[in-house]
């Protein structure tokens, strides 16, 4: 791991534990055991770290749904694979996932706007899958905004409760969540 990656990793841990606003560059330097001035040879600012974490995670989420949405499979299978992909991305780095979910609001403009647009686009891609399932008769008629917001409300709490050393691995977790969420959408 490069020194810059070490700085970003440690910052993510501190952002998750204390919050972005409550973490100073001095806190980060102390946690790394270096002088605060030394940090700036690796990064420009605390905001640069937050941007790296948020936009890096957003790219991983987009990549996971790219692999699913154009596949020639049923909408419920697309949704299952989308859920599994989302869980897999989050489980790969729970610390960065927590920062992505909770601390993005501290991005400055225009970065916050750009981030929110990426996030809305990602959510809308799941909404499109649900809409397709409704139009095909695979899913029952419902408010798709409510369905997609329920889906993400369920998935995005994962960094707060998931224990990677526990008895369930990310693939099994994704399947269990998909079973629960997709069963609620199916037409009778």
Could you tell me the pTM of the whole model?
0.91
In which element (H, E) is residue 16 found?
helix 3-18
pLDDT tens-digit map of 107-121? 999 999 999 999 999
- Structural domains in the chain? 1-43 (1.10.10.60), 46-183 (1.10.357.10)
Please tell me the distance from the alpha carbon of residue 159 to that of residue 180, in angstroms, as a whole number. 19
Please tell me the distance from the alpha carbon of residue 16 to that of residue 148, in angstroms, as a whole number. 26
Quickly tell me which residue has 């959408």 as its tokens.
185
pLDDT tens-digit map of 17-69? 999 999 999 999 999 999 988 899 889 999 999 999 999 999 999 999 998 99
């Amino acid at each position: 791991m490069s020194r810059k990656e070490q700085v970003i990793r440690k910052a993510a841990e501190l952002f998750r534990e204390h919050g972005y606003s409550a973490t100073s560059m001095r806190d980060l330097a102390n946690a790394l055991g270096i002088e605060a001035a030394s940090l700036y040879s690796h990064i420009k600012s605390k905001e640069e770290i937050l941007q790296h974490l948020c936009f890096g995670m957003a790219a991983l989420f987009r990549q996971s749904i790219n692999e699913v949405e154009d596949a020639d499979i049923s909408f419920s299978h697309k949704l299952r694979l989308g859920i599994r992909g989302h869980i897999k991305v989050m489980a790969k780095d729970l610390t960065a996932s927590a920062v992505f979910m909770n601390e993005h609001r501290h991005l400055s403009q225009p970065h916050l706007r750009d981030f929110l647009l990426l996030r809305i686009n990602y959510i809308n891609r799941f909404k499109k899958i649900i809409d397709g399932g409704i139009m095909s008769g695979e899913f029952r008629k419902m408010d798709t905004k409510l369905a997609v917001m329920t889906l993400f409300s369920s998935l995005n709490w994962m960094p707060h409760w998931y224990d990677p050393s526990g008895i369930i691995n990310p693939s099994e977790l994704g399947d269990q969540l998909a079973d629960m969420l997709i069963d609620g959408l199916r037409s009778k």
